[in-house]
Amino acid sequence: MGLFRHRAAPAPASLVFTLDQAGHTYDDGTIGLGPTTLTIAERRTAVIGLNGSGKSTLLGLLDGTLAATCGRVALAAADGGETLDPSVKRDVKRIDAIVGRVRREEVPNSFRRAANVSEAVDATLKRLGVPEAERQARIGAVFAHFDLTTSARRHVDELDSEHRHLLAIAAALAKAPAAVVADEPTKGLDEVGSARVARALFSYDRQVVFATHDTALIQRPEYAVDRALLLDSGRVVFDGTPAETAARYEELVRRRFEQARAARG
């Protein structure tokens, strides 16, 4: 039947994400991401760029939450096996099981309907068909790693911002995915909170593709970010090491500032 045919099959160790001239244009005609050819297989990949540059659109194509309006997107096990296509209905559930998604909104709205955060994560795993004993073991492990054990019986609205960020990541990882796709996982946190959340995320043994504005974070050696992509106006305009890409980003910001100043006269 193949690696990806059964929902209960374990996730592969990591994924290869491929965009083949893939892009997305929104219903109002806005181009989120122009046709892009790209392969991501590294353990840690950062995506940076100004607001509106296409970062969230790219991540949505990678994790299957956005459909490509041109080209093709594929996800494959890095160690071989079948390839998944987010546009193919039978592949959608498998993608949901093997890709952990973290959004800037921090936690899904559905979590607020649960009595507490442990039950919220449990409901997510139950929908994926994870047996009860395994669900509890996974929740216990990720809550311990993300310093959420004492908060397990609290309602999500009782958590501070830092712990909501941690919960969003823990919930994604409780699925035991092959990879996590995270859109600004430290957004809105101060320097100390950002460091704690980043340390917890990158110390967990999973492949991560993430968007951020924090160029210092992506260059910290302890986070071992392998590669960074710079987006601008719906295009990947640079692809290199974190230090190289951060330098290009700073040049872009300076250029945009100078252009805005010149336009003001």
The CB density around residue 36, as the number of other CB atoms within 10 Å, is 24
- Taking only the tens place, the pLDDT of each residue in 159-193 is 999 999 999 999 999 999 999 999 999 999 999 99
The CB density around residue 70, as the number of other CB atoms within 10 Å, is 13
224: left (phi over 0), alpha (psi -120 to 50) or beta: left
3-state secondary structure of 32: strand
Q: At 66, which amino acid appears?
A: L
Name which of 80-94, 133-147, 210-224 the model is least confident about. 80-94
Contact between 171 and 203 (Cβ < 8 Å): no
Domain 15-107+179-264: give its CATH superfamily.
Answer: P-loop containing nucleotide triphosphate hydrolases (3.40.50.300)
Query: What's the confidence (pLDDT) of residue 6?
Result: 43
- Taking only the tens place, the pLDDT of each residue in 101-126 is 998 767 888 899 999 999 999 999 99
Cα distances from 65 to residues 109, 162, 181, 254, in angstroms, run: 16, 25, 11, 33
Provide the pLDDT confidence category of residue 8 given band limits of 50, 70 and 90: low
Q: How many CA atoms lie within 13 A of 199 on its CB side?
A: 9
Q: Does 240 score more than 70 pLDDT?
A: yes
Residue count (the chain): 265
Q: Does 2 score more than 60 pLDDT?
A: no
Q: Does 7 score more than 60 pLDDT?
A: no
Which of 174, 126, 177 is CA-nearest to residue 148? Answer: 174
- Taking only the tens place, the pLDDT of each residue in 117-164 is 999 999 999 988 899 999 999 999 999 999 999 999 999 999 999 999
Tokens of 127: 């929908």
pTM of the model: 0.92
Provide the pLDDT confidence category of residue 80 given band limits of 50, 70 and 90: confident
- Work out the burial of residue 239: count CB atoms within 10 Å of its CB; fewer than 13 is exposed, 13-18 middle, 19 or more buried: middle
Supply the mean pLDDT for the chain: 93
Listed by start position, the domains of the chain span 15-107+179-264
Q: Does 38 score more than 90 pLDDT?
A: yes
Q: In angstroms, rounded to a whole number, what is the distance separating the alpha carbons of residues 208 and 202?
A: 8
Query: What's the confidence (pLDDT) of residue 4?
Result: 40
Query: What's the confidence (pLDDT) of residue 228?
Result: 98
Q: Angle 15-94-32 (CA atoms, 0-180°, nearest 5)?
A: 65
- Taking only the tens place, the pLDDT of each residue in 40-51 is 999 999 999 999
Tokens of 234: 């719906």
Where is pLDDT greater, at 2 or 61? 61
